[in-house]
Amino acid sequence: MFKKILIPVILSAAMLLGGCSDISVNVNINRDGGRKKLMAVKDDLKWWQETIAYEIYVKSFKDSDGDGCGDINGIISELDHLKNLGVGAIWLTPCYVSPQADNGYDIADYYDIDPAYGTMEDMDRLIEEADKRGIRIVMDLVFNHTSDQNEWFKESALSKDNEKSDWYIWADPKEDGSAPNNWRSIFGGSAWEYNEERGQYYLHTFLPEQPDLNWENPKVREALIDVANFWVKKGVGGFRMDAITYIKKPADLSDGKPDAADGMVGIHSMTANTEGILDYLDEFKSAVQDDTDIFTVGEANGVSAKDLPNWVGKNGVFDMVFEFGFVNIDLPDESNWCETREWTLPEFKAVFSASEKMTSDPKINGWYPMFLENHDQPRSINHFLPEGADRVAGGKALATLLLTMRGTPFIMEGEELGFVNVAWPDIDDYNDISTKNHYKFAIGEGYSEEEAMAGVHRFARDSARTPMQWDGSENAGFTSGKPWLPVSDDYETVNVKAESSDPDSVLSWYHELVNLRSSHREFIDGDYEEILHEDEQIFAYLRENADAKAVVLINMSTEKAAYDPSITENAKQILCTGEGSDAGELAPLEAVIYEELK
Ligand code: NOJ
């Protein structure tokens, strides 16, 4: 009860104290009117289209038992932080039993929780406690592969004629005994691993410890459907489908054209989004999702805007897909972190706009999962803003983009505090196996130690995985033990406690935006239209429904930016990150929102 009263008070206070305070008051005044109006507009949205999703990297969120590793009870203890952020869905990275070769993305038992994270009873309690706060739990289904410690794989590896012998992708060596083809795994090295017992190789898109399942086998598909239904029965709100575009392999396993000095070809170009994949996913959808209110979001590397009609919406296999067109805008070749490319803001904007346009086409009626970060990516302030961008101003600018685009925003833990990349001096300081392999690849390709480490500092996945920072105490309040990965050095100022009481913090800005979304319906159900497309500094767009038209202007550069003030002529400024913006001009990294009621 106490909490229920406290939340709006905190939000309103933050709004009153923050920049543009008089403007923020307008937001408050409009709130009730906004609620009434929203009844009149599209009210057929599903719960997951109206909410905000939050990704928890379970290992790094909150440790309850002092072993240095985040756990389920830790998550339960911090649910109110998420409720205050307007979160209605929590995507948990995999917390099933796993040897942790890839931090849980190598699953040994889909039906149990890894002891490092807790027990199934803890998970049941998390689902229940989250539910009390109006939050649903979203499980990460890793179905392209399992762990090599999964009983399915152990049995499959025993012989060529046991019951599960074709549950994985086995192939004979080439005549000279080498791997069946020259495919390079996503984490580097051959995508094939030899198994003595069978005298054959098995395929692994990722690590050798992550053998790929054979989706051609109906029994495999059935077993995976059973796993998903087990979790549906537990009451989860949805699934994030890991690496799902790789599940269907081509019939032809011959060599591909080499793309690097190692004579290999990246497996991505050979197996992503292969003909026939949609049949399997259709089957999965009807066996798992029919008659439920859960949602699915696919990790869809290899799917671009033009493919979306088959992947989302009326005839799509998922409710949403994460596409990566903008993520790799600075990285022409994912396996080589040393070669980056210059990109322009119009290019960046075009990727979002193409997907928004495609998903919102009434013939498709799809939905977009808006994200700028996840546990595989650098922090967005470093990734998408110019070098040297102010952390707080930059965090607010990107938050504005994240929470006002059309679609369900996915916040990555720490993003709401304005986390930035870590840059540890030595490759041995890093935990992530893919980072270590990228480093090795760079050295192998002839790059210097300095160049290889620069790539690591730019792209290492560990930057998104450092422990969550709760307060300024030792280990940022994450654990009473030794954290599994070092806490970032900035924890004394960048933490939930400090930012909650600072009206100018990134976190307070998130709260303002969350409030804005609930009081201004156009940010949820409004159409999206990009404007000022050719502008090299400003990301600008309209969000419009039957009652209101909002103009969002975000200066993504560290210089002042001018625009034609007639765009906002009849509108009222309702929110801005700075002191209040003059029409026609934005300060560096300033974001401002105008609204015109109809
Ligand atoms: C994508 C996940 O997001 C990543 O963390 C993981 O390493 C690979 N898939 C393999 O499961």
**pLDDT confidence bin for 24, thresholds 50/70/90:** very low
Whether residue 418 has pLDDT greater than 90: yes
State the Cα–Cα distance between residues 251 and 249, nearest whole angstrom: 6
State the Cα–Cα distance between residues 432 and 252, nearest whole angstrom: 32
Whether residue 38 has pLDDT greater than 90: no
**Strand, coil or helix: 433:** helix
Mean pLDDT of 541-552: 97
**pLDDT confidence bin for 86, thresholds 50/70/90:** very high
Atom of ligand 1 nearest to the CA of 106: 11
**pLDDT confidence bin for 42, thresholds 50/70/90:** low
Mean pLDDT of 5-9: 30
Query: Tens of pLDDT along 112-135?
Result: 999 999 999 999 999 999 999 999
Angle at 113 between CA 463 and CA 204, to 5 degrees: 60
Mean pLDDT of 572-588: 90
- Share above pLDDT 90 across residues of the chain, in percent, rounded to a whole number: 88
Mean pLDDT of 159-165: 97
pLDDT, mean over the chain: 92
Whether ligand 1 lies within 6 angstroms of the CB of 525 is answered as no
Whether residue 6 has pLDDT greater than 60: no
Cβ neighbors of 413 (< 8 A, separation 6 or more) are 54, 55, 56, 57, 60, 61, 468
- Ligand 1 centroid to Cα of residue 248, in Å, is 17
- Ligand 1 centroid to Cα of residue 145, in Å, is 10
Q: Which one of 56, 213, 376, 432 would you pick to mutate in the ligand 1 pocket, going by the greatest count of ligand atoms within 8 A of its CB?
A: 376
Query: Tens of pLDDT along 281-290?
Result: 999 999 999 9
Going by C-alpha positions, the residue among 11, 48, 3, 593 that lies closest to residue 320 is 48
Lay out the sheet containing 369-371: strands in order across: 320-322, 295-299, 238-242, 136-142, 87-92, 52-56, 408-412, 369-371
Atom of ligand 1 nearest to the CA of 145: 11
**Of 60 and 324, which is predicted with more confidence?**
60
> Which amino acid is present at 107?
I
State the Cα–Cα distance between residues 189 and 442, nearest whole angstrom: 12
The first and second tokens of residue 525, run together, are 């159900």
Range with the lowest mean pLDDT among 41-55, 227-241, 458-472, 538-552?
A: 41-55
Range with the lowest mean pLDDT among 21-30, 263-272, 407-416?
A: 21-30
Going by C-alpha positions, the residue among 427, 431, 474 that lies closest to residue 452 is 427
Let me know: does 355 contact 325? Beta carbons within 8 Å: yes
- Ligand 1 centroid to Cα of residue 142, in Å, is 8
Whether residue 456 has pLDDT greater than 80: yes
Give the chain's end-to-end CA distance (angstroms, integer).
Answer: 37
**pLDDT confidence bin for 36, thresholds 50/70/90:** very low
Whether ligand 1 lies within 6 angstroms of the CB of 376 is answered as yes
**pLDDT confidence bin for 333, thresholds 50/70/90:** confident
Query: Tens of pLDDT along 353-391?
Result: 999 999 999 999 999 999 999 999 999 999 999 999 999
Per-state percent for the chain, helix, strand, coil, to nearest 5: 35, 15, 45
Whether residue 579 has pLDDT greater than 90: no
Long-range contacts of 23-32 (CB under 8 A, 24+ apart): 23/573, 23/574, 23/575, 23/576, 23/580, 24/512, 24/575, 26/572, 26/574, 27/512, 27/515, 27/516, 27/519, 27/520, 27/574, 27/575, 28/515, 28/519, 30/519, 30/520, 30/574, 31/515, 31/518, 31/519
Q: What is the predicted pLDDT for the residue at 19? A: 33
Whether ligand 1 lies within 6 angstroms of the CB of 412 is answered as no
Residues annotated as part of the active site: 242, 299
Question: Which residues face 299 on adjacent strands?
Answer: 322
The first and second tokens of residue 294, run together, are 């859960």
If phi over 0 gives left and psi between -120 and 50 gives alpha, with beta otherwise, what is residue 273?
A: left
CA quadruple 468, 554, 556, 306: dihedral, nearest 10: 90
Whether ligand 1 lies within 6 angstroms of the CB of 322 is answered as no
**pLDDT confidence bin for 583, thresholds 50/70/90:** confident
Whether ligand 1 lies within 6 angstroms of the CB of 105 is answered as yes
Let me know: does 244 contact 298? Beta carbons within 8 Å: yes
If phi over 0 gives left and psi between -120 and 50 gives alpha, with beta otherwise, what is residue 510?
A: alpha
Whether residue 43 has pLDDT greater than 90: no
Whether ligand 1 lies within 6 angstroms of the CB of 206 is answered as yes
Q: What is the predicted pLDDT for the residue at 124? A: 98
